[in-house]
Chain A
Amino acid sequence: MEIIEKIITNKSIDNQTEIQKICLDKLQSSPFPNPKSEQWRLSNKSKFANFLDYSVNEKNSKFDTPFPNISQKNIRLVIGDDCHINLLEENYSIKQLSEDKLVKYIKEQISCFDQNENWSDLLNLSLNCTKNTLGLKISGSEIPPIEIFSHASSNSLNAKTLIIFLEKNCDIDLLQVNLGKEKSSLSQSTFFCLEENSSLNHGVVSYGENKSNLLNSLNVIQSKNSEYNLGSLHFKFNYARFEIRIKQSEGNAKTKIKGMQITKKDEQISTYARIDFNGPNGFLDQINKSLADDKSHAIFEGSIIVPKIAQKTDASQLSRNLLLSNLAQIDTKPQLEIIADDVKCKHGATISQLNEEELFYMRTRGIALTEASKLQLSSYFQEIISFIPVSKDRWDLLDILLNEN
């Protein structure tokens, strides 16, 4: 209840918007997610409480990024940083959504929220003001890659919302970066709406600092013949939760997800993915990798839901995990719920440590143990990193990760 009270009494959001009021109302009936529910069962309670500990801050501190400077080819937007964009080029257009449209869309979304499953979105929307919401409508092709940054300032809780409509036949690379400063909490909610024949290569890089927390919720609705590719990377957060909800609303769509989470010290990072097939001929290829070291805890829960209407769905989900320390733990639960009979669905999960035989082989060839494990790790990371768009050429994510390890 405390958090709700805090939000209500917080003077900075005295002028509550309509959306904030609706969400606060909903939150009042369930101020906390149900700790016994599958989605929240493994969530570390004290770490979650720590997320809510910081006071809400709508103002943004100066933004500095450890990542490369903007290149001329790319478009970089920072949510909350008074970003305005209105591009009308020959081949494409990027327009900012009007406030009316944004409110209408968010209201529609809220009406289909599940109190427990969408708790992170409810919190996000009840904290967020218009200033920290970015809504875009993108159409056309040959669009330059877009980078969108969200960040939380030290000692505060920041909420950022991103809404993007991709119009028909639109094709785009988009990288979303979530940065957590020392002792901060970031609540990020993202909504994508992919129209027919559109294609989105989406990258998410979430990078924290000491004692930073993240609630990252991603909602994607795919129309037919759309393609959505997601490459995600979460690391260095005291507590991070990545929720992916993808709905193929008419089937006939393609989804590929490659995600990775790396935990160290006593961090806890979890990924929850739910993919709904609401039409026939859907396709999903998902792989989630975790690496847990020291006393950390990595969690993956994925569900694939195939109702009767989704005949000829082809879905696969793989959870691969590396457990590197005696005190670390990994939980994984890839699950299938199927009613249609003409489908191909499979999932798999493995948990192990670095392959000893491979290490031994490399050592017999004169490669030192640390070097050999680095080589192994880099091949483990590479599969995911190469799938993250925009970063490929300019960002040395692999080096960052290997130096961290």
Chain B
Amino acid sequence: MVNENLVKDVVKEPYKYGFVTDIETEKIAKGLNEDIIRLISQKKEEPKYLLDFRLKAFKKWQKMKEPDWSGLGYKKIDYQDIIYYSAPKQKEKISSLNEVDPKLLETFDKLGIPLTEQKKLTNVAVDAVFDSVSIATTFREELAEHGVIFCSISEAVKNHSDLIEKYLGTVVPASDNYFAALNSAVFSDGSFVYIPKGVTCPMDLSSYFRINSGDSGQFERTLIIAEEASSVSYLEGCTAPMFDTNTLHAAVVELIALDDASIKYSTVQNWYAGDEEGIGGIFNFVTKRGKCLGKRSKISWSQVETGSAITWKYPSCLLLGEESIGEFYSVALTNNLQQADTGTKMIHIGPKTKSTIVSKGISAGNSINSYRGLVKMGTKAKGSRNYSQCDSMLIGDQASANTFPYIKSQQPNSEIEHEASTCRISEDQLFYLQSRGIEFEEAVSMMVSGFCRDVFNQLPMEFAAEADKLLALKLEGSVG
């Protein structure tokens, strides 16, 4: 049931995460070339194989062309006008949270992610990433008792180099696409999770990404490995201050699930979307992919996309292991001049693999909201099944909703079902709610919430409440 009071409370709020933290940062010069990449690598004291990985990716990136097939309209990105490394200045080595700059802790406090021992969220371990670096990870000791490794990727490079070398770039190769290649060349930080064999992670893991400076891009990289018969639920949240310039965010997320392992990856993306005239906002170009390597493994993506001026994101599953399962649950909401092109790819390679896609798009204002998805049954995917459902809701006659499902089958003994529909907020339902004394905007929020129910049910508890609030907030003033 939708919490009506909750929706009412937040309807009047502006983008509340738009503040800037005034903190001294260490930035390198603008621009992108081999020296910059060497400098980033040197700052992070990386081993040679990683520097080689970066340089190789950079060489490939230089030869690639920015993709234009999505039809997203945005002003050309000047890749030489971006700062590729920006970190808050702090003591060289931090041994405990007490040594973290209080201003940073305050920032995350304001975002609703308290990191300090007294206040930290119970039962959720957080890795907080501020611009290019991870500043704190909570509950590490407790997790370590279970053998779970949860740290920033920079630390993992130092302490678990073997795992990084073995798995980095195996799901999303450096040459996969333009933005993945760029990320592979300049990635600064991100989270690393390793769940050992047979362990069910005792708490939800979470990372919180915060872009603070207006001229630096964020290029984080997340790698999650779930060994045999392990399971983990991972949450990701993102916000950024309001600037009238566009900031680039090009992340890569790689998930690997071995036999009987399960990974649940949930995102609530609320980057700054730009103002009503479309000035400012984050350009969000993300490559997320999971590999179900093992038998009966499962990867589930759930996402609530409400922010960013441009969203270009297709969390995908490669279903290699026999009887592996891929899931994608998505709510994408666009308002004003936002553009979102999002969807998923379910590549069925192994036999008896299953996938489910549920995508809900809501477009309001002058925005463009597209679902673009691929379902492919390979020749060996005998006995595989896919079910996709894409629903769009249009609010106002200026918004646009598109559906582009690509379906390919090479295996007769498999089944694919796809359905899509488009609707608007029904006037009868609206009238009914209003006649029961429910305010107009609140009634709309309730109906949007109901429209997204299938997806919200898949989100972890805390996230579902937040997502509901966010949708109401984003729709403010767009109806009527």
Contact = CB atoms under 8 A, between A and B. Distances in A.
A308 B416 CA distance: 32
Contact of B416 (A325, A337, A345, A351): A351
Interface stretch (B12-20, B105-113, B185-193, B388-396): B388-396
Contacts of B409: 321, 323, 329-330, 351
* B: interface residue count bin: 20 to 34
A349 interface: yes
Interface string B379-400: 1000000000000101111111
B411 interface: yes
Contact of A338 (B392, B412, B416, B419): B392
Interface in A86-114: none
A131 interface: no
A348 B418 contact: yes
A5 interface: no
A350 B420 CA distance: 12
Contacts of B411: 323, 326
A57 to B, nearest CB: 37
A272 to B, nearest CB: 14
B422 A346 contact: yes
B417 interface: yes
B419 A348 contact: yes
A142 interface: no
Nearest to B370: A337
Contacts of A343: 394, 422, 424
Contact of A341 (B377, B379, B397, B413): B397
Interface string B136-149: 00000000000000
Contacts of B417: 348-350
Interface in A326-378: 326-353
Nearest to A311: B397
Contact of B398 (A336, A339, A342, A351): A339
B379 A326 contact: yes
B407 to A, nearest CB: 5
B38 to A, nearest CB: 36
Given A334-B405, A346-B421, A339 B397 contact: yes
A324 interface: yes
A349 B421 CA distance: 12
Interface residues of A, number: 34
A342 B415 CA distance: 33
A337 B400 contact: yes
B458 to A, nearest CB: 23
- DSSP class of A's interface residues: helix, strand, loop or mixed? strand
B397 A348 contact: no
Contacts of B402: 335-338
A332 B405 CA distance: 8
Given A324-B412, A326-B411, A347 B424 contact: no
A346 B414 CA distance: 24
B89 interface: no
Nearest to A347: B420
Given A311-B397, A323-B412, A353-B412, A338 B407 contact: no
Given A336-B420, A344-B423, A349 B405 contact: yes
B422 A308 contact: no
A288 to B, nearest CB: 13
B404 A329 contact: no
A114 to B, nearest CB: 15
Nearest to A329: B410
Contacts of B400: 337-339
Nearest to A315: B422
A347 B395 contact: no
A248 B413 CA distance: 40
B421 A332 contact: no
Interface in A295-341: 308, 311, 321, 323-341
B103 interface: no
A194 B361 CA distance: 36
Contacts of B398: 308, 339
B361 to A, nearest CB: 11
A350 B418 contact: yes
A324 B413 CA distance: 8
A393 to B, nearest CB: 35
Nearest to B409: A351
Contacts of B424: 341-343
Contacts of A348: 417-420
Contact of A325 (B392, B412, B420, B423): B412
B394 A341 contact: yes
B416 A335 contact: no
Contacts of A344: 421-423
Contacts of A342: 397, 424
Interface of A: 308, 311, 321, 323-353
Given A327-B379, A338-B401, A343-B422, 18 more contacts: A326-B412, A331-B406, A331-B407, A332-B407, A333-B404, A335-B404, A336-B403, A337-B400, A338-B422, A339-B400, A342-B397, A343-B424, A344-B422, A347-B403, A349-B405, A351-B407, A351-B414, A351-B415
11 contacts: A308-B398, A323-B410, A329-B409, A334-B405, A335-B402, A341-B397, A341-B424, A344-B422, A346-B420, A347-B403, A350-B417
Interface of B: 377, 379, 392, 394-424
* Top 9 A-B pairs, shortest CB-CB distance: A341-B394, A349-B418, A346-B421, A345-B422, A323-B412, A351-B416, A348-B419, A353-B412, A351-B409
